[in-house]
Structure 1
Amino acid sequence: MLLMPQRILLVYTKAGGGHFALAQNLHKLLTELEPESEVRLFNFFDVGPRWIAQAIQDGYNFAVNKQRWLFTVFQAFYQTRPAIQSFARVLGMRLAPAINEYLEEFRPDKIIYCYPVNHGFRRLPYVRKHKPKTLTVVSDIFSPHLYWFIDTKDQYVVASPEAYSIARRYRVPPENLHYFQTLIDPKYDQPLAPEEVARLRQEWGLVHPYTVLLTGGGAGLKISHRLVRELVKIEGINVVVVCGYNQKLYRQLETFKQKNQIANLILFGFTKQMYELINVSNVVVSKAGPATIAEVLSQHKDLIVCDYVWPQEHGNVELIRHEKLGYYIRQPRKIAEKIRELKSRPPERKTLNLQNDIVRLARYILAL
C-alpha cells in the first residue's frame, strides 16, 4: 500500500536517557520505512526558557545520580492526579506559547509522545484546532508511574502485561491500549559476528578471555570507582567502564589506571557503541533501566543490577529477581564476589521471553 507523505513529530526530553533512545530509534526506523515523510525529533524544553530545561532535565539527572533522596521526595509528592496536573499547568504557562509556535511552523499530522506530556499538549491551540493523531509510547516497561496515564483519552503503547494492568488501574480504557513488546534497536535482534567480536577485542586491548562491562547511562554508575577497585583484584579479566558524560568519573578512573599501571582497565566516555560493548562482554553491571536490561538479555549476557530509580524501575528489579534473569547486588565487594563465581562456571543463558516489536511499532505509527 502506498502511503502519503506525513509529518510526524517525536516528542522526548533528556530527563532520563531511555526516552531519548526510544525517540531516536523510532526516528531512524520511520525515516527508513517512509523516506518521503518528514519525521522530526522534538525536545520541547529546547524551545522554552533555558532555566526550565536546566531545572527539569539537569535537575532530574542530578537528583537521580547524585542526590537520590531528592528524586524520591519529588516522586512521593507526585502520586496523585491533582498534583501532577497542577505541576503541568504551572510548567505549561511558560512553555506552551513556544511549543505551540513550533507546532504551527511544522504542522505535524501525528504526534508521538516518548515522554509523559500528552495531557499538557492536548490543551495547546494547535492540537485542539487541527487534532493531529497522537500516541504515547510508555518506555517504562514493567512499573510505569501514574503520570504516564493522566490523559485517559489518549492512545497508549505498553510493553508488558504489568504495564497494561497499571494503565487499566488508572482508568485507561482497554480500546486505548496497544501491546508491543520490547522496543530496542533492531540490531539487538542478532549477535555481532564472531569475527567482528574478535576484531573489536583486539582494537580495544581486551587481552583476557573474560570481560566485565560497567555502564550506568549518561552519568555512569555511582559506584564505578569503588567497584573498579574491587574488580581489578580479580585475575584474568578485562574491566570496561562506560563513564558517559561524567567527565569527573572518567578523570578519576584514568588517574587510578595510570597511577597503578592497570592495562586491563579500559575506559569510554560517551559512546554509541553499546551494542558492540555488550557483545564483547561476558557480564554487564548496570542500573535497572528497562532498555539496558532488554539489550543485555537479548545478547544472552550475565546481568548484575546494582541500582534502580524508584518507583519506575522497581518492577524491573523484581522481574529480574523473580524470573532469575540476573542478580540484584548493591555492594561493590559482593558484586566482585559474584563475578568471581560467574567467571568460574559455564554461563546460564537466560533471557526475557519477549520479542523486539520496534519495527512493528514504526509500521503501526505510519498506518495510524
Structure 2
Amino acid sequence: MKQRIGFLYLKTGGGHVSGANALIARLKETYPDNAEYIPQNGFKNTNLVSQIFFEKGYAATSNYFEPGYVAFYQLTKYSKILNLCTGLLRPFIVKNIVSFIKTERITKLVCLHEILIPLARIAIDRVQPDIPLISLVMDPFTAHPLWFYTKNTELIVFSHKLKKEAIERYGFEPERVHQFPLMLSQRFNRRYTAEEKIAAKQRHGIPLNKKIVLMVGGGEGLKSTLALVNAFIFQRCPAHLVVICGKNKILKTQLELLLKTTQISNIQVFGFVSTMPDFINAADCVITKSGPATIMEILSAGKPLILASYVRGQELGNKLFVTNNQLGWYIPQPRKIIKKVKEILSDASLFAATKQKIDAMHIKNGLDDIARFVYHFHTEN
C-alpha cells in the first residue's frame, strides 16, 4: 500500500516552514515511488483570530516587542495555561486536521509545531488511532514543555540534552525518543570549494579582493540592522558588508536610501534571496540572530559568527551552544559587534582558532537520517 504522509506546520518563524520543505524535498528525492508527501498549514481554513495571533503575532512580538513574546512563552509553560490554550484552539483546528486526514487519506502524520501536537493526536484518535504521529522538536537545546505534553507520539529531538529531558523530566518512554542531528537544507551538506566561492561572489556582484561580512536575520532581517550598518560606516570597517533584509521591504528601502545619501560603496543590500548557501559560503564571518537553523547552516559552512540577539527562553540554548563551545560571540551592542568583526578579520590567529573549534564540532546534517526514519517507521514493524 502506498504511503500518504502528511506534514503539519505553522508559519511562526521561518524554521518550521523551511524544515518541512527540506524534509519533504529529501523524501521525494529518496523515496519518489511508494509514497505521497502532503504539507498542510495547521491553521488553514481555521479561525482568523487564532491565525493572526499565532502567526502574525509571533513575527511582531519576537522582532519588535520581545517582552510580550517572552511573557506568553513563560506563561504557557504552566499546565493550566496549556490546557486553556489547547481548549481554545481545539474547536477550530481539530476539525480541520480531521478533514485533512480523511480527505488526503493520510497514513502517517508528521508534526513540526508544538501547538499542533496535542490537537493532531485528538484528530488522529477520531479518525484512526493506529495512524502514527511523529513530532519533530524544532528547538534543539531549549524546548517549550508543550513539545512534550502529548506522550502518544514518536518524538524526534536534535540533542542529547532534550532526549534526556524528554525521558527523565517529562516521562517519555525511552524507545519513543529518537535523537538525530538538526536537519538542514541539503544545500548545506558540504562546503564550497575555492572555485565555487569565487563563482558565488561573481553571481551576486560581491568583490573578490575584500573580506566579506554577511548580516542576515531570517525573514524579517535583524532587528538591529540599521544600527549595525551605521556602526559599520562610523567605524570605517574596511571589509565589504552584505546585508540580507529578507521580506522586510521597509528595511531594504531605508538602507538603500542611506547608502544613496552617504555614497558608501562597500555595502550591498539584498531583499529576499533563495541562494543563502552562496552568501554564507562567500562570507568570512556572519552577524546573525540565534535561530537554530541559521546557526547550524553558518557553522556547517565553517564560518565564525556573532549573535546580535536571541529570544529569551526559546533561543537561550542556541546562544549557549555557540558561546560555550567558543564557536562565536554573543554581542548585543552594534558598535561592539563591528569592533569584534574588525578583530576577527585582522587577527589571523583568532580566525584560525575559531574555525578550528567549528571544524572540531563535526556539524552533520540530520536530514537523510530523519527522512529515512519518517519513511520507514511503522512500515517495517
TM-score normalized by the length of structure 2: 0.92
**1:263 match: secondary structure:** coil
Deviation string, structure 1 residues 70-122 (Cα, Å, up to 9, x no partner): 10110121112231122012112122222322221001111011111221111
Alignment pair present for 1:308 and 2:317: no
Matched, 1:140 2:142: no
2:122 aligns to what SS in structure 1?
coil
State the AA in 1 paired with 2:147: W
What is the CA–CA distance in structure 2 between the aligned matches of 1:235 and 1:326, rounded to whole Å? 19
SS at match of 2:241: strand
Listed as ranges, the matches of 1:129-168 within 5 Å are 129-168=128-167
Q: 1:151-182: CA deviations, max 9, x gaps?
A: 12211011111111221212222111001112
Q: Which residue of 2 aligns with 1:363?
A: 372
3-state SS, counterpart of residue 214 of structure 1: strand
Provide the rounded CA distance (Å) in 2 between the counterparts of 1:191 and 1:43: 32
SS at the partner of 2:172?
Answer: coil
Q: Partner of 1:175 in structure 2?
A: 175
Q: Is the 8 A contact 1:225 1:253 kept in 2?
A: yes
Q: Distance in 2 between matches of 1:332 and 1:256?
A: 17
The structure-2 alpha-carbon separation of the partners of 1:69 and 1:185, relative to structure 1 and needing over 3 Å to count, comes to same
CA separation in 2, counterparts of 1:98 and 1:109?
A: 16
User: Structure 2 vs 1, CA of residues 353 and 197 (structure 1 numbering), >3 Å: closer, same or farther?
Assistant: closer
CA shift at 1:148, angstroms?
Answer: 0.5
Q: Distance in 1 between matches of 2:223 and 2:333?
A: 11
Asked if the contact 2:98–2:127 (Cα under 8 Å) also holds between the matched residues in 1, the reply is no
Select between 266-275 and 203-212 the one with higher mean Cα deviation. Answer: 203-212
* CA–CA distance in structure 2, aligned partners of residues 260 and 43 of structure 1: 44
8 A Cα contact 2:124 2:131, kept in partner: no
- Bigger drift between 207-216 and 20-29 goes to 207-216
Equivalent position of 2:198 in the other structure: 198
User: Does structure 2 retain, via aligned residues, the 8 Å contact 1:11–1:41?
Assistant: yes
> Does the CA contact (< 8 Å) of 1:29 and 1:359 recur in 2?
yes
> 2-side partners of 1:235 and 1:366: how far apart?
49
Alignment of 1:229-244 (within 5 A): 229-232=230-233, 233-244=235-246
Structure 1 alignment gaps of length 5 or more: none
Alignment correspondent of 2:341:
339
The CA distance in 2 between the partners of 1:155 and 1:54, in whole Å, is 29
Confirm whether residue 224 of structure 1 aligns to residue 221 of structure 2.
no
Report the equivalent of 2:186: 186
Q: Is the 8 A contact 2:44 2:96 kept in 1?
A: no
Structure 1 residues 164 and 303 mapped into 2: Cα distance closer, same or farther (>3 Å)?
same
Normalization by structure 1: what TM-score? 0.95
Tell me how far 1:200 sits from its aligned partner.
2.5
Structure 1 residues 123-132 or 165-174, which shifts more? 123-132
The answer for the alignment partner of 1:10 in structure 2 is: 7
SS at match of 1:124: helix
Q: Tell me the distance in 2 between the aligned counterparts of 1:95 and 1:112.
A: 16
Task: Give the fraction of aligned pairs with identical amino acids, expressed as a percent.
Answer: 30
Aligned partner of residue 200 in structure 1, secondary structure:
helix
AA at the equivalent of 2:252: Y
Does the CA contact (< 8 Å) of 1:12 and 1:114 recur in 2? yes
Instruction: Indicate the residue corresponding to 1:122 in structure 2.
Output: 121
Residue-by-residue CA offset, 1:310-347 (whole Å, 9 max, x unaligned): 21210111121111111000000000100010110222
Task: State the 1:217 CA deviation.
Answer: 0.8
Give the corresponding residue for 1:265: 267
Structure 2 distance, partners of 1:126, 1:42, is 19
Establish whether residue 55 from structure 1 lines up as the match of residue 64 from structure 2.
Answer: no
Shift of 1:204: 2.4
> Pairwise CA RMSD of aligned residues?
1.5
Structure 2: give runs of 5+ residues left out of the alignment.
Answer: none
Maintained 8 Å contact 2:22/2:184: yes
Q: For 2:152 and 2:49, how far apart are their aligned partners in 1? A: 31
Does structure 1 conserve the Cα–Cα contact (< 8 Å) formed by 2:237 and 2:338? no
Distance 1:273 1:222, change over 3 A: same
